[in-house]
Structure 1
Amino acid sequence: MVPLKRRKVCGAVSGRETTVKFPHVVIYLLERKMGASRRAFLSQLGRKNGFRVEDDFSDNVTHVISENNSGDEARTWLDLQQKGNVTVKLLDICWYTESMRLGCPVEILDKHKLQEGQKFQEESVEFSVPVEFSVPSYACQRRTSLENHNTNFTDALSLLAENAELNNEDGRAVAFQRAAAVLKALPVKVTSMTQLQGLPCLGQHSQRVIKDIIENGVSSEVESTINSERFKALKLLTGIFGVGAKTADRWFREGIQNLTQLENSGHDLNRAQQAGLEHYYDLNQPVTKAEAEIIGDIVKKAVHDVLPGSEITLTGGFRRGKISGHDVDFLITHPDEGKEVGLMAKVVSWLTAQGLLLYQKTTRNSYLENEEGPAQPPSNIDRFERCLSIFKLEKKEMHSIRLHPGTQSSDREPAIIEHLQHFQANSFSNSQMRPNRTWRAVRVDLVVSPISQFAFAVLGWTGSKLFERELRRWAGQVKSMSLSSHALYDSKQCKYLRATSEEEIFAHLGLEFIPPKERNA
């Protein structure tokens, strides 16, 4: 039996072997101003209709199709190709779309020809193929702000992605995440399926969900998922700090569906899980940007007391412009390479002495740079010295900046919050859920990086998760490079590419620099 990946490749190749009905017409679609995604869609459309559409320009090409280019611009491009074919026809996209509609090459009229020596008239272009947007395939090529015109679709797809993750279906989860990311990048609200023609990453499953919402206002699959006892239980159990999807699944199969049942089960929880259960309510409340800044002041005080001159950067969703999140991440370094060694232990001791840590687990830096390049992905994960902790934040310091009652984290749907609160109510008494104390627990991650790796660490820890995944995918598939939060390795040149800023890393990857607030894929 052919492996799945091989079958996919074979299928893609066989799709290109459609019978050519018009061998005398050899078409090349000019990508300039058309975009790669739209060009790929139109190429596939042409081949399905029996046209010969070439990916690369050659002397065999008889028709060059251009969109939004003047005749002079197309001619300049053609001259740069330095090919011998001087009889090639420079045509506007309207000739191509008319030919697609009729299923054969239409007669070339004056309106189809690109007029050289005259200003291009954009309003004369006819769009017979209902393609409204051109979106790059990789999320790291797109600017995605927090503003989202299609939350009804993206929330639904994100929920299905989360459900897939809870069921250890990582491939399906990524597919839903990529589909949601494409919709987040669109400049207007989608109201018709025809607007999605030619967009990348929208598989049949995602399109069914979108179509259901357009036609019925909601997705029946999403509604079924929200009301699933399994989803609600796994969502609740993975909300415990230190509990992953596999552990939650095992507990669910044992009949554990809420926190009270877990407490009464007799399970021997590890330290992280004990702390997560004890502070469950606090850790599942959103952390505001103002609270993160208060914690940042505490961390800066600790770090500067033990190693003056150190640099501290707030990363994660807050660096991308979010006003709330589920935890707070800080990157720490020192301008002098090597001075950061041993810093974490001193910072943890300082915070412990101040009574600020309810829980902490510190891991050492285990990253080693290999002259032959980084190891395979499983061993190429983040290996910085890190402290996963639960901070004790005094309420008197945050009294004036708490979220107004009813304000929810932007990462959660109201329906999920309602179910979560229902399970919490069944798990603890009101006094345990809303403890009458002068402080609250907050998840905080502290990461120490050498200055030589700091730019890569900042990029990796800023997110979003999908944006970072797509950066690594782009690096590997397009540039033959290996990117991590530690380094960038060029497999063709067999060397590491150094960088002191995120801008330099994007330049190495051949990508336009995208600022943090536009990485919310």
Structure 2
Amino acid sequence: MTGFFGGGGVCTHCRCRAMVPLKRRRKDGGAAPIAGVQERAPVNRFPGVEIFLLERRMGSSRRAFLTQLARRKGFRVQDTLGDSVTHLVSESNSGDEVWEWLDRQTGGQTPGSLSLLDISWFTDSMETGRPVEILDRHRLQVSAPRSDPEEPRISAYACQRRTPLDHLNKIFTDALEVLAENAEFSESEGRGLAFRKAGSVLRSLPFAVSRMEDLRGVPCLGEHSRKIIQEILEDGVSGEVEGVLRSERYRAMKALTGVFGVGVKTADRWAREGLRTPGDLLTSGHRLSREQEAGVRYYEDLNCPVTRAEADAIGEIVEEAVHSILPGARVTLMGGFRRGKEAGHDVDLLITHPEEGKEEGLLGKLTSWLDSQGVLLYQRVSEGSGGRGRESGPMDHFHRSFSILKLGEQPGAQPGASSADQTQEAAAPRGQGGAQGRGWRAVRVDLVICPYSQYAYALLGWTGSQQFERDLRRFASQERDMSLNSHGLYQREQNRYLPAASEEEIFTHLGLEFIPPPQRNA
């Protein structure tokens, strides 16, 4: 037999030895018990040992196979978590994640005698044919004891934490952001995500970290992140972070990825060729895409933060155009501005109409109107299907225009105001000045058209933050067996989509406390 079993009767996934001949194993099949059929009570060779296999991340079919394997060897395995369970076995879950799951199941009354074990204990026990001694390597490590009910617990999911815009640990989060960005410049997405998760949880803390003991019980802080935090606490700065900021490669990657339409792979190739600034691209002889040409042309403007007043002005221009084409349509300012930010790197506008279907064809008419008014400097249209997908990935399928718009008067701008120093250092292409002196500036704008039936989900998905949305999708999948994206929430067990007229309804579907946009700055 191939696939799940090796030729010698060994489970290749966890190395358990299946002590049943091949022919008999084919007969048993490892299938779950048939509903309504009474099974013969399994023999219990080891009184005082009752196992519960946590299905989370293990999967139902694998759990059923391991349950039958253990019962054949004389172990008692319970199908449900009860007071008699002594050994809870988990696979690919951290101790904190298992504690959170337990607390939800028991209402915080988890028995202290329950052992939380990694699958390695189960594997060793199956190989020896008896319950082995529980060693440290078998135990799931928990960040902090849960015995004190008064100690506040912090969720590992950003969607279960309230994260305000202004927080108390900026010195640490800024450092971790640099390391995350540098890791992503090296295409090490895993390391980058680890630093971002650590920064995210620090943003949610209601206190300023002043000693390492303050982090007891705080999830998502890996060894590397803790080292950086400790270094800052002791020295005021991190030598590693300062080294990254001085690195020529980091500075080059920062400048080159700041060009609209340039990703990490392209920027890395250019940096290896010796290019350091967008201005270098004009003299290098490289052939640029239309998007990249626009990115170089308006580099200084696009790397200067967009103020809230400017975002509102762009919103008014677009809203005027939309209403002239489709009266009654709704235009909503999204992204960081909806979360309360006073500045951002672009403007996201979500457009819909209460009468489903009327939004069809709106995007082409809208961009034509903007072009006729001399407002549209660049656009790339993505003709999405507009339909739902069952996968919980971050990409949606809405009709969308990635645009650069021309904003005339800059509301709230100070006379003589210009881009940040680091943007000026990057050197805009010769002959291409910024907004200063010409009376207008270029602004990155995403125009997104969505059907009204999907508006609540699009509203949630396009509000952010990125980490909040990532954890919301992860929570839906891992904790609720659902698939969430900007189109809808798919319930796998019942094979259906759950309608929602508001963000609050979506949180209710997921069994989560509603968190308003200003508290989603994870």
Q: Same fold by TM (over 0.5)?
A: yes
Determine which of 188, 197, 221 is the counterpart of 1:169: 188
TM-superposed deviation, 1:327: 0.4
Aligned mates of 1:314, 1:133 — CA distance in 2: 35
TM-superposed deviation, 1:368: 3.3
Aligned mates of 2:343, 2:444 — CA distance in 1: 13
Aligned mates of 1:178, 1:162 — CA distance in 2: 13
- Per-residue CA deviations over 1:338-385 (Å, capped at 9, x if unaligned) read 11000001111111110001101112122434xxxx35456x721100
Whether the 8 Å CA contact 2:391–2:484 is kept in 1: the answer is no
Whether the 8 Å CA contact 2:160–2:512 is kept in 1: the answer is yes
Aligned mates of 1:331, 1:173 — CA distance in 2: 29
TM-superposed deviation, 1:259: 2.2
1:422 corresponds in structure 2 to: 425
- Per-residue CA deviations over 1:22-68 (Å, capped at 9, x if unaligned) read x9999xxxxxxxxxxxxxxxxxxxxxxxxxxxx9551478xxxxxxx
Aligned mates of 1:406, 1:135 — CA distance in 2: 42
Distance 1:89 1:429, change over 3 A: closer
Pairs within 5 Å for 1:332-411: 332-369=351-388, 374-376=389-391, 381-395=395-409, 398-399=410-411, 401-402=412-413
1:276 corresponds in structure 2 to: 295
1:461 corresponds in structure 2 to: 462
Whether the 8 Å CA contact 1:327–1:444 is kept in 2: the answer is yes
Distance 1:270 1:78, change over 3 A: closer
TM-superposed deviation, 1:170: 1.3
> Is 2:228 aligned against 1:227?
no
Aligned mates of 1:362, 1:277 — CA distance in 2: 20
Distance 1:337 1:207, change over 3 A: same
Aligned mates of 2:154, 2:308 — CA distance in 1: 31
TM-superposed deviation, 1:128: 11
2:164 corresponds in structure 1 to: 145
Distance 1:337 1:265, change over 3 A: same
Instruction: Report the 3-state secondary structure (helix = DSSP H, G, I; strand = E; otherwise coil) of the residue aligned with 1:267.
Output: coil
Pairs within 5 Å for 1:153-232: 153-232=172-251
Instruction: Report the 3-state secondary structure (helix = DSSP H, G, I; strand = E; otherwise coil) of the residue aligned with 2:332.
Output: strand
Distance 1:190 1:24, change over 3 A: farther
Structure 1: any 5+ residue segments left out of the alignment? 1-8, 12-22, 27-54, 62-76, 82-87, 91-125, 409-416
> Is 2:295 aligned against 1:247?
no
Aligned mates of 1:457, 1:144 — CA distance in 2: 21
Is the helix fraction higher in 1 or 2? 1
Whether the 8 Å CA contact 2:392–2:484 is kept in 1: the answer is no
Q: Which amino acid aligns with 2:465?
A: S
Instruction: Report the 3-state secondary structure (helix = DSSP H, G, I; strand = E; otherwise coil) of the residue aligned with 1:478.
Output: helix
Q: Which amino acid aligns with 1:446?
A: L
Distance 1:431 1:271, change over 3 A: closer
Q: Which amino acid aligns with 1:350?
A: W
1:509 corresponds in structure 2 to: 510
Whether the 8 Å CA contact 1:456–1:487 is kept in 2: the answer is yes
Pairs within 5 Å for 1:326-337: 326-337=345-356
Paired positions, count: 400
Aligned mates of 1:199, 1:343 — CA distance in 2: 47
1:107 corresponds in structure 2 to: none
- Per-residue CA deviations over 1:1-31 (Å, capped at 9, x if unaligned) read xxxxxxxx989xxxxxxxxxxx9999xxxxx
TM-superposed deviation, 1:422: 2.3
1:58 corresponds in structure 2 to: 83
1:500 corresponds in structure 2 to: 501
TM-superposed deviation, 1:181: 0.8
Q: Which amino acid aligns with 2:395?
A: I
2:441 corresponds in structure 1 to: 440
Aligned mates of 1:364, 1:79 — CA distance in 2: 48
Instruction: Report the 3-state secondary structure (helix = DSSP H, G, I; strand = E; otherwise coil) of the residue aligned with 1:360.
Output: strand
Distance 1:434 1:502, change over 3 A: closer
Instruction: Report the 3-state secondary structure (helix = DSSP H, G, I; strand = E; otherwise coil) of the residue aligned with 1:432.
Output: coil
Q: Which amino acid aligns with 2:356?
A: E
TM-superposed deviation, 1:127: 11
Distance 1:266 1:78, change over 3 A: closer
Whether the 8 Å CA contact 1:232–1:420 is kept in 2: the answer is no
Distance 1:25 1:183, change over 3 A: farther
Distance 1:504 1:375, change over 3 A: closer
Instruction: Report the 3-state secondary structure (helix = DSSP H, G, I; strand = E; otherwise coil) of the residue aligned with 1:460.
Output: helix
TM-superposed deviation, 1:174: 1.1
Aligned mates of 1:431, 1:366 — CA distance in 2: 38
Q: Which amino acid aligns with 2:424?
A: Q
1:20 corresponds in structure 2 to: none
Q: Which amino acid aligns with 2:491?
A: D
Instruction: Report the 3-state secondary structure (helix = DSSP H, G, I; strand = E; otherwise coil) of the residue aligned with 2:438.
Output: coil
Pairs within 5 Å for 1:68-147: 133-147=152-166
Q: Which amino acid aligns with 1:226?
A: L
Aligned mates of 1:438, 1:419 — CA distance in 2: 22
Aligned mates of 2:310, 2:507 — CA distance in 1: 31
Q: Which amino acid aligns with 1:146?
A: L
Distance 1:78 1:494, change over 3 A: closer
TM-superposed deviation, 1:423: 2.6
Aligned mates of 2:244, 2:166 — CA distance in 1: 26
> Is 2:299 aligned against 1:288?
no
Distance 1:200 1:127, change over 3 A: closer
> Is 2:332 aligned against 1:313?
yes
Whether the 8 Å CA contact 2:282–2:429 is kept in 1: the answer is no
Aligned mates of 1:79, 1:155 — CA distance in 2: 37
Whether the 8 Å CA contact 1:133–1:186 is kept in 2: the answer is no
* TM-score, normalization by structure 2: 0.71
Structure 2: any 5+ residue segments left out of the alignment? 1-12, 16-46, 51-79, 87-104, 114-144
Instruction: Report the 3-state secondary structure (helix = DSSP H, G, I; strand = E; otherwise coil) of the residue aligned with 2:470.
Output: helix
Instruction: Report the 3-state secondary structure (helix = DSSP H, G, I; strand = E; otherwise coil) of the residue aligned with 2:480.
Output: coil
Aligned mates of 1:474, 1:301 — CA distance in 2: 39
TM-superposed deviation, 1:160: 1.1
Instruction: Report the 3-state secondary structure (helix = DSSP H, G, I; strand = E; otherwise coil) of the residue aligned with 2:368.
Output: helix
1:266 corresponds in structure 2 to: 285
TM-superposed deviation, 1:194: 0.8
Aligned mates of 2:284, 2:265 — CA distance in 1: 17
Aligned mates of 2:459, 2:224 — CA distance in 1: 35
1:16 corresponds in structure 2 to: none
Aligned mates of 2:14, 2:236 — CA distance in 1: 38
Whether the 8 Å CA contact 1:133–1:199 is kept in 2: the answer is no
Q: Which amino acid aligns with 1:465?
A: Q
- Per-residue CA deviations over 1:442-488 (Å, capped at 9, x if unaligned) read 11110000001111101000000110000000011111110000111
Q: Which amino acid aligns with 2:406?
A: K
Aligned mates of 1:451, 1:215 — CA distance in 2: 53
